[in-house]
Amino acid sequence: MNKEKYLNEVEKRLRLMFQASREGYKVVPVERHRLEGFMRAGVFMGVVSNEELAALMADCHQNIFGKTIEQRKAEKSSLWQEEAIDYRQYEQPAYERKG
């Protein structure tokens, strides 16, 4: 297999996945797993290294989102920790709460 052709295909698939995510669409797990398998197969066959794929993924992510994968993960995790929900009222059985 031609390394350049393989990397172009991986980049195309990464871009599609990242663009869908940027536009608010949830990436179908089957497609994500196919891409991961395709990438692992390239490493297994010796066409490309894990480091090369990681660099390609980082570049695609930076181009699509304008930030690194780590920066985006940090932003996403901070969005949900704004307020702690107090679940103590649900510790009592429902039939007792209705009382």
pLDDT value at residue 9:
96
pLDDT of residue 82: 52
DSSP 8-class letter at 92: S
Token pair in block for residue 73: 């993960």
Q: Structure tokens of 72?
A: 């985006």
- Tell me the pTM: 0.71
CB atoms within 10 A of CB 73: 11
Band (pLDDT 50/70/90 cuts) for residue 92 is confident
How confident is the model at residue 58, as a pLDDT?
A: 94
Distance of CA 90 to the CA centre of its chain: 34
Q: Are 17 and 32 in contact (CB under 8 A)?
A: yes
Number of residues assigned to the chain: 99
Distances, alpha carbon 13 to alpha carbons 41, 61, 77, 88, in Å: 15, 12, 25, 46
